[in-house]
Amino acid sequence: MPKTENQFLPFALPDIGEDEINEVVDSLRSGWVTTGPKTKRFENDFKDFLGGDIEVVTVNSATAGLHLALEAIGIKDGDEVITTPYTFTATAEVIRYLGAHPVFVDIDPHTFNLDTTKIEERITHKTKAIIPVHFAGLSCEMDKILAIAEKHGLKIVEDAAHALPTKYQGSLIGTLRSDVTVFSFYATKTITTGEGGMVVTRNAEVARRCRTMRLHGISRDAFDRYTSTAPAWYYEVIAPGFKYNLTDLASSLGIHQLKKAWRFQERRQAMAFRYMRELSDCPVEMPPVATASDDLHAWHLFVLRLSKGAPVSRDEFIKKMSEAGIGCSVHFIPLHLQPVWREMYDLSPESFPEALRTYRQAVSLPLYTKMTDEDQTRVIAAVRNILCG
């Protein structure tokens, strides 16, 4: 049933169907509620979805996946990792988990992604890796980033939290020549397991290390130990690992969400294009689209930037939308404005001017597959009333 004017339309909601619910119930009845056969099935399905010669490792969050990935490629105390300030704090905090330092590079003002023309000037002898973030579901310029990494002997870990399914030059993100790609299945993402993530790599040693470290550094997979028909109680702890495994309850959601990923992308894209058509005469800058014929935008987010001629500020716009019963958000508050990163690295708001300008103008409108056409009509009417009335 469509929302009425008196009902609040939230910024995001997961699109969970009966198939997901029934699979969770089946897991509960089976007795396997932690990592088990459903998780293995989800991994196999995800590998088939991406295709190619890859290995996949489920984790309980993309944050965990990024941490495991950096640890597996050898990031150590004192190293430097280049990334964007226009991201959630998890992208940078995982670098600090290992005693390394995030080195921020400003964004391209059109795409919100890393400005590839500014990466090399930030490379030093301590630089060991680059973490590009595919903001909102639009791929970074990966050919340029890969070329820079190859030139300087750097590793690449793609933060693909927004990027399922995203294509770059005809290839799905997760199948490029990067060392590792990490996806998110958080509640608001394009598919969800509630909490969860996936590490994808072509490197068998990296995959092996991630599998070991995701469960306390144990040398044997716990699922294999508990399902073996032969006595299999013995294990060895070969490293001080973490507790990053995904449960079968979460994987039960993922199995069926993944089946809907293409349909979800088509719906999100149709909604994004409708926003652009019906708000084109408002004082806003539209989000970038995938311009190449073989690129694909996942449309995890729809981010408008209010133009200088807008009758209200960004913050006032969000307040008025809330008063109209519609939730909006801001993606993101740049990391160099956050106290921890600002103080740790002596940054100022002007350190990354494009990220700062984008943040001050940006607002994310509701964009999720559970929204009806009537819901979107209501959002469009509210935006037009505030900005174009």
Q: 180: part of which helix (H) or strand (E)?
A: strand 180-184
Q: What is the pTM of this model?
A: 0.97
| Residue 1 binned pLDDT confidence (cut-offs 50, 70, 90) | very low
The type of residue at 322 is S
Tell me: domain 18-259, CATH 3.40.640.10, correct?
yes
| Residue 5 binned pLDDT confidence (cut-offs 50, 70, 90) | low
pLDDT tens-digit readout, 248-283: 999 999 999 999 999 999 999 999 999 999 999 999
* Residue 196: C-alpha distances to residues 111, 203, 204, 251, 296 (Å): 27, 22, 22, 8, 23
pLDDT at 225: 66
Class of domain 261-387: alpha beta
pLDDT tens-digit readout, 97-112: 999 999 999 999 999 9
pLDDT at 233: 81
The type of residue at 8 is F
Q: State what percent of residues in the chain have pLDDT above 70.
A: 96
pLDDT tens-digit readout, 147-194: 999 999 999 999 999 999 999 999 999 999 999 999 999 999 999 999
| Residue 2 binned pLDDT confidence (cut-offs 50, 70, 90) | very low
| Residue 220 binned pLDDT confidence (cut-offs 50, 70, 90) | confident
Angle between helices 248-259 and 37-50 in degrees, nearest 10: 30
Higher pLDDT, 77 or 235: 77
CA atoms within 13 A on the CB side of 271: 28
202: Cβ–Cβ under 8 A, 6 or more apart, which residues?
Answer: 53, 54, 55, 177
pLDDT tens-digit readout, 126-157: 999 999 999 999 999 999 999 999 999 999 99
Active-site residue flag, 189: yes
Q: Which of helix, strand or coil describes residue 190? A: coil
Question: Read out DSSP for 301-315?
Answer: -EEEEE-TT-SS-HH
pLDDT tens-digit readout, 362-382: 999 999 999 999 999 999 999
Q: What is the chain's mean pLDDT, rounded?
A: 96
pLDDT at 4: 53
Q: Where are the domains of the chain?
A: 18-259, 261-387
The residues facing 80 across adjacent strands are 101, 127
Mean pLDDT calculated for residue range 5-22: 94
Which one is catalytic: 189, 259, 319, 370? Answer: 189
State how far the Cα of 217 lies from the Cα of 142, in Å rounded to an integer. Answer: 32
